[in-house]
Amino acid sequence: MKETNHKDMSDEELIDQTFQELLNDYLATKHRKRVEIITKAFNFANQAHKGIKRRSGEPYIMHPLAVAKIVCNEIGLGSTSICSALLHDVVEDTDYTVEDIENLFGPKIAQIVDGLTKISGGIFGDKASAQAENFKKLLLTMSSDIRVILIKIADRLHNMRTLGSLLPAKQLKIAGETLYIYAPLANRLGLHKIKTELENLSFKYEHPEEYEQIEKKLQATAAERDEVFQQFTAPIRVQLDKMGLKYRLLARIKSIYSIWNKMQTKHVPFDEIYDLLAVRIIFEPRNADEELNDCFDIYVSISKLYKPHPDRLRDWVSHPKANGYQALHVTLMGPNGQWIEVQIRSNRMNDVAEQGFAAHWKYKEGGGGEDEGELEKWLRTIKEILDDPQPDAIDFLDTIKLNLFASEIFVFTPKGEIKTMPQHATALDFAFSLHTDIGSHCIGAKVNHKLVPLSHKLQSGDQVEILTSKSQRVQPQWLVFATTAKARAKISAILKKEQKSAQKKGETTLNEFLLKEDIRPESVNYDRLLSLHNIRTKEELLAEVGKGAITLGDEDKNAIKGKQNSNWKKFLTFSFGNTKSAKTDEPQETAAKEKINPKKVLKITEDAIQKNYIIATCCSPIPGDDVLGYMDEDEKVIIHKRQCPVAVKLKTSYGNRIIATKWDTHKSSLSFLVNLYIRGIDSVGIMNDVTQVISRQLNVNIRKLNVETNDGIFEGKIQLYVHDVDDVKRVITKLLKIPNVKTVNRVEE
């Protein structure tokens, strides 16, 4: 993609040149050449945003232009979408209305611009509201026109590319939302390239040092990888030439974010990631009907050259993924004894893989009608969830995220119909996917004619028969078994309904009891009952009474009338992080509170940790970790690791309370607990060597040591007191020098 040279150019020249580039890009596509309407949209938007600058100092119109270029080049959409991208901020940021857009550009563009305006949180203004709420709006809009979400993803991609000009706290909030919402959404829509870039950019802002380290390591090993690629593909080229195919061979390098993710989840160093390189064969089919056969012919011919891995053939050709992705993946043993994945795709499949659903339009005559079979299914599921939304925005987000999977399994009904389910789906999920009635009366299932419980995880190729009973009712623990959004939403709705009727019944019972005992129905009396039964809310109490779990009697009467010590407990709940109440008897509350400026980077000093800040127990960050602060309702700052799951939710839903933070403790006297995972070959005295290194050589205190040996391999966890991340690195380096110690990693508890 050509980049504009900004130097020595007036704003007008820069804008005109960028628009000309957009037109040239559009004219190079297969879409109908509707230059006039695009020019009209550009002139209108340029006039509307005149004189307004972005934070980076460039004219505001450069943002809509950049989004339109992404929409055209990277997503492959036509004039309607390009116009909508150019106009997407006009209604939000100027006095023009959707009606004005409709009068000038027609109902279709107006509808898309309206959709984009509805879901805009004003992320770059002060109107940044909870993203979860915006996401709900976004999905509602999506169901009317998929282009809304595609343009929104393009908008987010440009925002991520220009994130450097924003305040640090804003950067963390936007990067967090991007990883949590937009990257999975792009993935689900098949926009693989964009999903990868969004993940990489988010990672770059959240963990700049680790990003740089991996980037340097990738550069250092590039020549070696190139040599492997040339050696591996030389015989493949010969084979493909013999078949008379037009093709190109590409090396695909694992993205920086994927590498880091694998290092975290598998606890392995960079050097032990062996699938950095994959090979892509992109071919022109001999004729349209032979496309699938050609894929398998290529597979057969290359598997004569290299031995294929028996368990790693992925046939997405016969069964495309729900996001439309089609390819044949095979893993071959390369000449250097290394497994290399080969992805076989036709040009059409490659376009679908890069541009997702938008590529389907490219293969329609004149970029016209849209075929969205799988997408329609997905949107239907989302509509079902939206019909019965969770009251809590975060629950809702989690429920939706369950549906943003890319890995699917294929299962069969007893009659042989094929059903696509997400990976890890259970028999209960399958029951709800058939019908809510079947799900709610489900007592078990037969998988491949064998009886299994509802929690049984299904595998691809299973044949599943659901067993039901009229007397069966939905159980609360089903929420643990269910993994799909639809099943969880339905179970929650049924449980809520039952809870409501139990509350109603409980209210009648409780009122009758109070009337009989001549006790006034006052809140202080309810509080005494809550305290007696150790229940937090009046609703819970009523439900328990309604279900018959609590029988009201003399004990309740005495507790209300104060005839016994009712052991009053205050239930203080904090949103996230540390549950230690700030409301203790310590005199620190009277000390003057430090006023925190959310626009500045907060320095975490030793003194501040003890007085003002709380270290989150969910991820236990230590000095040197990439962290952020979250200001709770009491203006206490809770410090989380940036990749901690709780922090991810906070960035997404409470972005305005996020504070950019940085350690300033140097070598403090404070000690922090960390967990190390250690693995190696068992030998006499190995544990003695480990403890000697930690305690004697490095003078680090061990708090806990758990070790197990199994068939000559030992593995265990060591809990240590350290001052900062440098201490951890020193311990790990020293331990790895002990003979027979093979792996040492820092892990969460």
Active site residues: 92-93
Fill in the amino acid letter for 296.
Answer: F
182 secondary structure, DSSP code: I
d(CA 115, CA 150): 11
CB 654, CB 644: distance < 8 Å = no
What's the sign of the alpha-carbon dihedral 659, 660, 666, 667? positive
d(CA 606, CA 170): 25
d(CA 218, CA 270): 9
Closest Cα partner for 630 from 308, 219, 176, 296?
Answer: 176
b/e sequence 413-450, b meaning 16+ C-beta within 10 Å: eeeeeebbbbeebbbbbbbbbeebeebbbbebbebeee
> Exposed (0-12), middle (13-18) or buried (19+): which is 682, by Cβ within 10 Å?
middle
Degrees, nearest 5: CA angle 718-721-273: 50
E strands along 664-700, which residues? Answer: 672-681
CB 70, CB 77: distance < 8 Å = no
d(CA 181, CA 136): 11
Q: At what angle do helices 146-161 and 131-142 cross, to 10 degrees?
A: 140
Closest Cα partner for 37 from 94, 97, 85, 89?
Answer: 85
Fill in the amino acid letter for 497.
Answer: K
In this structure, what token pair is assigned to residue 114?
């309206």
Q: How far is CA 215 from the centre of its chain?
A: 23
Measure Cα distances from 429 to 107, 180, 376 in Å. 40, 23, 20
H-helix or E-strand containing 383?
A: helix 373-387
Degrees, nearest 5: CA angle 24-29-31: 115
Helices (H), 472-570: 478-481, 485-516, 523-533, 538-547, 554-560
d(CA 726, CA 665): 12
Q: At what angle do helices 79-87 and 98-105 cross, to 10 degrees?
A: 150
CB 710, CB 646: distance < 8 Å = no
CB 81, CB 71: distance < 8 Å = yes
CB 388, CB 493: distance < 8 Å = yes
606: left (phi over 0), alpha (psi -120 to 50) or beta: alpha
540: left (phi over 0), alpha (psi -120 to 50) or beta: alpha
Backbone φ and ψ for 120, nearest 5 degrees, come out as -80, 125
CB 83, CB 109: distance < 8 Å = yes
Backbone φ and ψ for 617, nearest 5 degrees, come out as -80, -15
User: Pairing mode, if any, of strands 613-615 and 637-641?
Assistant: parallel
Backbone φ and ψ for 709, nearest 5 degrees, come out as -120, 145
Q: How many CB atoms lie within 10 A of CB 675?
A: 16
CB 153, CB 183: distance < 8 Å = no
H-helix or E-strand containing 742?
A: strand 741-747
Q: How far is CA 288 from the centre of its chain?
A: 37
